[in-house]
Every structure is written in structure tokens, then in C-alpha cells.
Amino acid sequence: MELANLIVIFLFGGLLAWLAEMMMENSARWVSLLTIALCSAYLWRLVGHIPAELFHINPVANQAGTWLMHHQMNWIPRFGVSFELAMDGLSLLLIVLTLFLGVVAVVSSWAEVDHHRGFFQANLLWTLAGVIGVFLALDLFLFFLFWEVMLVPMYLLIAIWGHEGKAHAAMKFFIFTQVSGLLMLLAIIVLVVLSAETLGRYSFSYFDLLQNDLSGGVATMVMLGFFVAFTVKLPGVPFHTWLPDAHTQAPTAGSVLLAGILLKTGAYGLLRFTVPLFPEAALQFAPIAMGLGAAGVVYGAVLAFGQSDFKRLVAYSSVSHMGFVLLGIFAWNHLAIQGAVMQMVAHGLSTAALFMIAGALQQRLHTRDLGAMGGLWHNMPRMGALALFFIVASLGLPGMGNFVAEFLILVGLFQSMPWMAVVAALGLITGAIYSLRLMQEAFQGKPDAHRTLPDFGPLEMTVMIAMVIGLLWLGLYPQPVLDLAQPVINSLTAEVQL
């Protein structure tokens, strides 16, 4: 089970980081970095042994042998539960994003977390373990297990190391995600029981459940169980209300993980499970789903414009940007889905960087209020220049990854529902307004002559420049990412013709 080792490395790395802090102060952060480096090297080794031609074929979704890697072993055979992990181009892309943003999260916590550092790093690594499990699991019972595993350490990150309203934000996050997760578990069980009539046995395997013949109201109800669970995590309107509080109160590393990785698990679930498992129900529900996506784009942008809290503004901007992902998935054509995948990656980089800047400002100024800022470029020119880059990247400036993603989504959406594309395009206009307002109020204007603030140091600059390079690469040469995801998209669209 070579793929399982990716998860095991993080589980043991988290335990080691916890124990290391008891023996040597400040060692847990280095253990975290070494754990991520070890997992990255192991992933590189795995990918290096995959035949190159597998990255270019069009795999059939119901044939496990056509994936890049696939492992399965019995777990609870009486109920058809197996330990089944598989990796294709989409999951590989998201795992690479997870590893990279894991490094960003560790660096962002370097000076911010000053108590229980070992337990903090343990929870950070365990969150990464759960996320990687979500991207690899193809047994739906195992998928649900990893879905829950990643929530508990994230809850602890917010509840223990969060800011002034951390208890309320952590509980709200936990309730929203747990209730929606239980709804998904109920939908999984119903799907398995009903599919057993066709299969002649119980099975939680994704490949077996693709053969279900559910239709009518039953298929719609089961599909909605998956849709709500994944849309809560996305988050999509009207299930988004947990996100601003969680982002605002979370430590910087928690915000990086939430925005950069955990939100993408919701998009991944919609793309991997919701539409392929219930194609007819998804077809009927697509206009409503796209309506929610368009509403999220505009609504999130308008609310972002009304915020005076730096982190809360960026949090609402995530609601707007992830609305594009919902639109791209349910438009269900090659361009739109390619755009949705690109948006997952580009949004993960740009928003994680903005949250890292917000956390650095809060650490230095002890406030997130834009009204208490102004003229910060004079005090911190490196941070100001980077903030301008990531802000214009977030609003979709040509030449950066976010522009490619949103352009592909809008073009694909126009082929499906032209008037919906027009509505979604309004979010781009509003996005430019709140983004430039954020830059103006925080970094422009008259500087405070009595304020002396430290700029980004070498460690922060290293990860920031890496994210700059990533967004420029996605914007100027996105073809490698598109090529990696294309076989998966070909497979999904061939199976599901909306």
C-alpha cells in the first residue's frame, strides 16, 4: 500500500513533532518541515515509477487499472468496506498543492505560535494527513473517515490557538461540518443499500457505485446529501456563514490550511463524487447549483467590499472565488471544468498568501482593522509589494493563474448558460473594487511617522516568492497543469454527459 505511506508519514510526523517539543524547545517546527519534505520526496519517487504514457491516456472512470496508481485490500468484507486508495492526475495535483501549502502554514506559524508548539504542529500535520486521505480514498466509507479526521485537528487549531472569538468560531465550524458530514454518511449508506440490489452485494467502492441505477426522486435526495456536505465545505451560498468567523479567528496557519486546502476538498467531492454518481439528478439540479454559484460570486464580493477587518474581507472574497468553482463544475464541459481545477490551485496560492500577510500585520499591529492601518508600504516595502501582487492576482489580472481559471470558467459557462456567465462576470467588477480598496486602506496613504514595523524576513520572503512564481507560472504557462488534469476530465465527461 504505497499510497497509504503518504498518510502514515504525516500521522507519525505529527506524533514525533508533539514529542520532540517536550525534549527540545522549538524543534517541532523543524520536525514538521522535515515531515513534509520526506512526504514530498516519497511522492516524487512514486510518480517517478509511473509509466509516462499513463499521464496522457484517457482513463475510464470505472476501471481501476487505468488510474496512475490503485491499491485495494479487504477491511470489513461483510459490509463491502475495503481500504481502497487511488491516484490520478487530479488527486496528484491537489496533493502537490497540499504539500506546498503545508510548508507555507508551518512558516506562517514560526513566530506567531508561542505556546504548545509541539501540539500545534501535530494538529497541523494530522490535518494534512486527513486531507491527503480525502484526495486518495475511493472507498466511500474510508473517504468519510478521512473527511472526519481532517476536521478534528482543524477544530483544535482554531479553538486553542485562535484569536479573541475562537471558541464561538471553532464550535460553529465544527457544527456546520459535522452536521453536513453526517448527512453525507446517511446518503452513502442509502446509496450502498440501494446499489446492492443491482450488484448483489454491499460495496462502498467508488467503481462499483458508479454502476448504480438510481433515478427519480430517490436519486435526487441521495445526491443532495452529497451536494450539501461538499457545498458547506466549499463553501457555497447559503451554507457559507461558518467561513468568515473561522477564518477571522483562526491562527494564520489555520487560515492558510482552510483557504488553500480544506475548501478544495469540497470542490473535489463535487467533481469526483456528486456529479459522476448521480448524472441524471445532477442534470436536473445543475441550474439551481449554478444559480447558487453565481449568487455566491456576487454576494461574496459585495460583502467583502463592506468589511473593515482584513481577514474577514479576504474570507468573503473566498466565498466569491469558490462560487466560480461551483459554476465550472455544474456547467460540466471541458473548458469550465478545466477552469474549476485551475481555480482550485490558483485560489489556494493567492488566498493563502493574503492570509499570511493578514496574519503578519496582526502580529505586528495587534489589529486587523483597516482603519488602523494606512501607509504601511512606507514601513514595510517588501510586504507592500507582495500584497499588491497577490491582490491583483486575486482580482484576476491577466498573466496570473486566477485570470486563466476565471476566463476558462466563464467561457465554458457561456456555452452552457450565457445569462449565468453575465451575472458571474459582475463579480469580477466588484472584486476589483474591494481588492483595490484593501490595498489603498492598508498600504497606501500617509504613513505614521511614529510607527516602526519589521518587514518580511528571509523565511517569509522565501515562501512568498515561491507563491509568486507559482501564480506567474499558472498564468503564463498553464499547460502542464491542464495536461495533468485533462485525462481525468475526459474520463468524467465521457461517463457523464450533462
Quick check: 130 and 233 in contact, CB under 8 A? no
The pLDDT of 296-319, averaged and rounded, is: 91
Predicted local distance difference test score (pLDDT) of residue 59? 46
Predicted local distance difference test score (pLDDT) of residue 63? 46
| Nine cell digits for residue 5 | 505511506
The pLDDT of 35-62, averaged and rounded, is: 77
Share of the chain above pLDDT 90, in %: 58
Q: What is the mean pLDDT of the chain?
A: 89
Predicted local distance difference test score (pLDDT) of residue 199? 82
Question: Rounded to an integer, what distance in angstroms lies between the CA atom of residue 231 and that of residue 240?
Answer: 8
pLDDT at 382 over 90: yes
pTM: 0.94
Could you tell me the pLDDT band of residue 497, with boundaries at 50, 70 and 90? low
Could you tell me the pLDDT band of residue 90, with boundaries at 50, 70 and 90? very high
| Nine cell digits for residue 488 | 481525468
Could you tell me the pLDDT band of residue 266, with boundaries at 50, 70 and 90? very high
Question: Rounded to an integer, what distance in angstroms lies between the CA atom of residue 186 and that of residue 436?
Answer: 44
pLDDT at 61 over 50: no
Could you tell me the pLDDT band of residue 350, with boundaries at 50, 70 and 90? very high
Q: Which residue has the higher pLDDT, 99 or 444?
A: 99
Quick check: 39 and 9 in contact, CB under 8 A? yes
pLDDT at 450 over 80: no
Predicted local distance difference test score (pLDDT) of residue 256? 93
Question: Per-residue pLDDT tens for 421-437?
Answer: 998 888 888 888 888 88
Question: Rounded to an integer, what distance in angstroms lies between the CA atom of residue 279 and that of residue 226?
Answer: 13
Predicted local distance difference test score (pLDDT) of residue 299? 92
pLDDT at 322 over 50: yes
